[in-house]
């Protein structure tokens, strides 16, 4: 097995919400004991409802928020606590594309500067040399060189996301973190950007940490999928296995909401509507974080957190339904 490019172990991020007069500080565990690896050139999709900690996880990997526990290794280096100059030095390896193509590009800069800025900042190229590189980058993302002197407001949402991607790949990163990068786009533009990402991966060997609240979007781009709920990964595995044989009841519910192009398959599949809302991460339930909404909840689920059990077909799920010992115990108890 090749060594992982990114290795995240037991990552936790807690936000401390300052209370006012007579109100204590509250602690919000946005990410809670998350572990995963990404191999060079691999795409890991992280999928879960809004508020499940995906962006916080991405920001921790990018070293934009401080982890409160755990470790992050990139390309063999421990980057968990990097700051200042050492962080600046690894930045070229690790780039990010955000959701909103309307606010992530500086409106006062022409495209040549938006895309060329990282080249200048990291001392890679200036002047005419930089312009030549920017032209090549624009062409790589499917934009003509004649766009160089235009401003971000002159572009559509999809074009802006292409510009953000050109800027992100300018320094030839090994890992690109895409946080809901196609979520604001219409379906056909989404597909164009997903195809572009696939082409770039083939040409440049970049690995992606691809975050989306929509499981349907990731099927064709991801090698592996990790499903998050209340700051935890509840299931992960190869995309094919996750889509064909989801193991965790939460993954099953997410999958049941994904439209299938073939109407006969659609009709034979039951939509699982979960009761209630996601609990507040300020007061997560004890035991399995999903137990307040799970159609299969057992007594043990309400008190003890299930560990990840390896699944046939690859990956693992944190659910007692797949833990032979727990299901045996619950049968004995009933
Ligand atoms: N800077 C912050 N300060 C306090 N709470 C935050 C902050 N950022 C995110 N949160 C909280 O952390 C939880 C996870 O948020 P987030 O990582 O944005 O989830 P997602 O990207 O999956 O929607 C949410 O409850 C959110 O309100
Ligand atoms: S551990 Fe229990 S509550 Fe949690 S997902 Fe599995 S069956 Fe449902
Ligand atoms: Mg988010």
Assess if residue 229 is contained within a domain.
yes
Assess if residue 290 is contained within a domain.
no
pLDDT at position 228: 98
pLDDT at position 20: 83
Assess if residue 322 is contained within a domain.
no
Residue 226: which residues within 8 A CB-CB, separation 6 or more? 36, 44, 45, 46, 47, 233, 235, 236
Q: How far is the CA of 293 from the centre of ligand 2 (A)?
A: 9
Could you give the CA distance from residue 267 to residue 230 in angstroms, rounded to a whole number? 31
Q: How far is the CA of 56 from the centre of ligand 3 (A)?
A: 7
Ligand at shortest distance from the CA of 27: 1
Pocket test for ligand 1, best of 19, 34, 53, 280 (most atoms within 8 A of CB): 53
DSSP letters spanning 18-56: ---TT---EEEEEEEEEEEEE-TT-EEEEE--TTSSHHH
Question: Encoding tokens for residue 16?
Answer: 């401390």
Residue nearest to ligand 2 atom 6, measured at CA: 319
Could you give the CA distance from residue 289 to residue 220 in angstroms, rounded to a whole number? 29
Assess if residue 266 is contained within a domain.
no
Task: Report helix, strand or coil for 7.
Answer: strand
Q: At 259, is the pLDDT very low, low, confident or very high (cuts 50, 70, 90)?
A: confident
The three state secondary structure string of 210-277 is EEECCHHHHCCCCCEEEEEECCEEEEEEEHHHHHHCCCCHHHHHHHHCCCCCCHHHHHHCCCCCCCCC
Going by DSSP bridges, is the β-strand pair 69-74/43-47 parallel, antiparallel, or unpaired? unpaired
Q: At 265, is the pLDDT very low, low, confident or very high (cuts 50, 70, 90)?
A: low
Q: Which residues line ligand 2 (CB under 6 A)?
A: 248-249, 288, 290-291, 294, 296-298, 301, 306, 319-321
Ligand at shortest distance from the CA of 291: 2
Domain carrying residue 162 = 6-108+151-248
pLDDT of 101 over the 80 cut? no
Pocket test for ligand 1, best of 27, 45, 48, 51 (most atoms within 8 A of CB): 51
Could you give the CA distance from residue 305 to residue 290 in angstroms, rounded to a whole number? 10
Q: For the residues 113-135, what does the mean pLDDT come to?
A: 96
- 105, 160 contact by CB (below 8 A): yes
With a 6 A CB cut-off, is 28 part of the ligand 1 pocket? yes
pLDDT at position 198: 97
With a 6 A CB cut-off, is 281 part of the ligand 1 pocket? yes
What are the pLDDT digits (tens) for 5-61?
Answer: 999 999 999 999 988 888 889 999 999 999 999 999 999 999 999 999 999 999 999
Residue 231: which residues within 8 A CB-CB, separation 6 or more? 29, 30, 31, 32, 34, 52, 53, 56, 281, 284, 289
Q: At 104, is the pLDDT very low, low, confident or very high (cuts 50, 70, 90)?
A: confident
Pocket test for ligand 1, best of 30, 183, 212 (most atoms within 8 A of CB): 30
Question: Encoding tokens for residue 237?
Answer: 């595995």
Quote the percentage of the chain above a pLDDT of 90.
Answer: 86
Could you give the CA distance from residue 39 to residue 269 in angstroms, rounded to a whole number? 34
Task: Give the range with max mean pLDDT: 35-44, 96-105, 265-274.
Answer: 35-44
Assess if residue 289 is contained within a domain.
no
Sheet holding 77-78, edge to edge: 26-38, 6-17, 69-74, 77-78
pLDDT of 324 over the 90 cut? no
What are the pLDDT digits (tens) for 194-242?
Answer: 999 999 999 999 999 999 999 999 999 999 999 999 999 999 999 999 9
Q: How far is the CA of 205 from the centre of ligand 2 (A)?
A: 38
Assess if residue 30 is contained within a domain.
yes
pLDDT at position 309: 97
Q: How far is the CA of 243 from the centre of ligand 2 (A)?
A: 19
* Sign of the alpha-carbon torsion through 305, 294, 261, 48: negative
Q: How far is the CA of 244 from the centre of ligand 3 (A)?
A: 26
pLDDT of 268 over the 70 cut? no
Token pair 């781009």 in the structure block, residue: 221
Ligand at shortest distance from the CA of 48: 1
Assess if residue 92 is contained within a domain.
yes
Assess if residue 316 is contained within a domain.
no
**Atom number in ligand 1 closest to CA 211:** 21
Burial class, 9, CB count within 10 angstroms (exposed 0-12 / middle 13-18 / buried 19+) = middle
Q: At 260, is the pLDDT very low, low, confident or very high (cuts 50, 70, 90)?
A: confident
Beta bridge partners of 8: 36, 72
- The CATH number given to whatever domain includes residue 213 is 3.40.50.300
Of 208, 221, 177, 194, nearest in space to 38 by CA: 208
Could you give the CA distance from residue 217 to residue 286 in angstroms, rounded to a whole number? 32
With a 6 A CB cut-off, is 55 part of the ligand 1 pocket? yes
pLDDT of 330 over the 90 cut? no
**Atom number in ligand 1 closest to CA 50:** 23
C-alpha separations of 157 from 27, 104, 113, 182, 192 in Å: 37, 11, 19, 10, 12
Residue nearest to ligand 1 atom 7, measured at CA: 15
Per this entry, what is the length of the chain? Answer: 334
Per the structure, the count of domains in the chain is 1
What are the pLDDT digits (tens) for 126-171?
Answer: 999 999 999 999 999 999 999 999 999 999 999 999 999 999 999 9
Q: For the residues 295-316, what does the mean pLDDT come to?
A: 97
Pocket test for ligand 2, best of 232, 279, 287, 296 (most atoms within 8 A of CB): 296
């Amino acid at each position: 097995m090749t060594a992982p490019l990114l290795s995240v172990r037991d990552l936790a991020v807690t936000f401390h919400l300052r209370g006012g007069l007579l109100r204590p500080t509250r602690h919000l565990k946005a990410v809670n004991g998350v572990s995963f690896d990404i191999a060079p050139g691999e795409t890991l999709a992280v999928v879960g409802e809004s508020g499940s900690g995906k962006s916080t996880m991405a920001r921790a990997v990018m070293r934009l928020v401080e982890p409160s526990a755990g470790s992050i290794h990139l390309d063999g280096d421990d980057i968990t606590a990097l700051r200042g100059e050492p962080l600046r030095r690894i930045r070229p390896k690790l780039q990010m594309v955000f959701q909103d193509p309307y606010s992530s590009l500086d409106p006062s800069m022409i495209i040549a500067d938006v895309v060329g800025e990282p080249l200048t900042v990291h001392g890679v190229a200036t002047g005419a040399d930089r312009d030549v590189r920017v032209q090549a980058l624009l062409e790589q993302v499917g934009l003509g060189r004649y766009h160089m002197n235009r401003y971000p407001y002159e572009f559509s949402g999809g074009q802006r996301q292409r510009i953000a991607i050109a800027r992100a790949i300018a320094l030839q990163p090994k890992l690109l973190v895409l946080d809901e990068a196609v979520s604001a786009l219409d379906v056909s533009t989404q597909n164009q950007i997903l195809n572009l990402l696939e082409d770039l991966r083939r040409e440049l060997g970049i690995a992606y940490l691809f975050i989306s609240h929509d499981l349907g979007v990731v099927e064709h781009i991801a090698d592996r999928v990790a499903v998050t709920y209340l700051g935890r990964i509840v299931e992960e595995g190869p995309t094919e296995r996750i889509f064909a044989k989801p193991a965790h009841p939460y993954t099953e519910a997410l999958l049941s909401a994904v439209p299938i192009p073939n109407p006969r398959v659609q009709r034979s599949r039951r939509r699982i509507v979960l009761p209630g809302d996601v609990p507040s991460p300020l007061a997560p339930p004890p035991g399995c974080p999903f137990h307040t909404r799970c159609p299969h909840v057992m007594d043990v689920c309400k008190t003890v957190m299930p560990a990840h059990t390896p699944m046939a077909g690859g990956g693992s799920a944190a659910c007692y339904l797949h833990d032979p010992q727990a299901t045996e115990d619950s049968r004995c108890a009933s």
